[in-house]
């Protein structure tokens, strides 16, 4: 799977791929290196924002969503909120 897999079918571009047809492995790689997910969690009674790679691996944490998003952008990725 690459960045061209979701084209509009214009000449010279790969055909449009249905998201419903993606395998579990493809979903695990979807957005790898481009997207990191922010998810609220409670650790020792304190609410923090966990940061996860596209494959679900936790890669960090921050005290709030703004700091989590800033950390993600510093690593040239885009944040996505999971709630």
Over residues 11-24, the mean pLDDT reads 62
Nearest to 60 by CA among 72, 50, 73, 45: 50
Note the helical H segments in 16-83.
24-29, 65-74
Considering the domain architecture, whether residues 14 and 46 belong to the same structural domain is answered as no
Cα-only R_g, the chain: 16
Nearest to 30 by CA among 52, 9, 3: 3
Considering the domain architecture, whether residues 21 and 39 belong to the same structural domain is answered as no
Considering the domain architecture, whether residues 43 and 73 belong to the same structural domain is answered as yes
Q: How confident is the model at residue 7 (pLDDT cuts 50, 70, 90)?
A: very low
pTM (global) more than 0.95: no
CA distance 43 to 46: 5
Q: What is the pLDDT of residues 20-36, one digit of tens each?
A: 777 767 766 666 668 89
Q: How confident is the model at residue 59 (pLDDT cuts 50, 70, 90)?
A: very high
Give me the residue label for tokens 């940061």. 51
Question: What is the domain range of residue 66?
Answer: 34-83
């Amino acid at each position: 799977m690459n960045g061209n897999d979701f084209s509009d079918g214009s000449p010279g571009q790969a055909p449009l791929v249905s998201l419903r047809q993606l395998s579990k492995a493809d979903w695990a790689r979807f957005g790898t290196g481009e997207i990191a997910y922010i998810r609220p969690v409670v650790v020792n009674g304190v609410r923090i924002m966990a940061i996860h790679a596209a494959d679900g691996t936790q890669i960090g944490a921050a005290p709030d969503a703004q700091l989590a998003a800033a950390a993600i952008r510093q690593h040239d990725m885009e944040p996505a909120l999971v709630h």
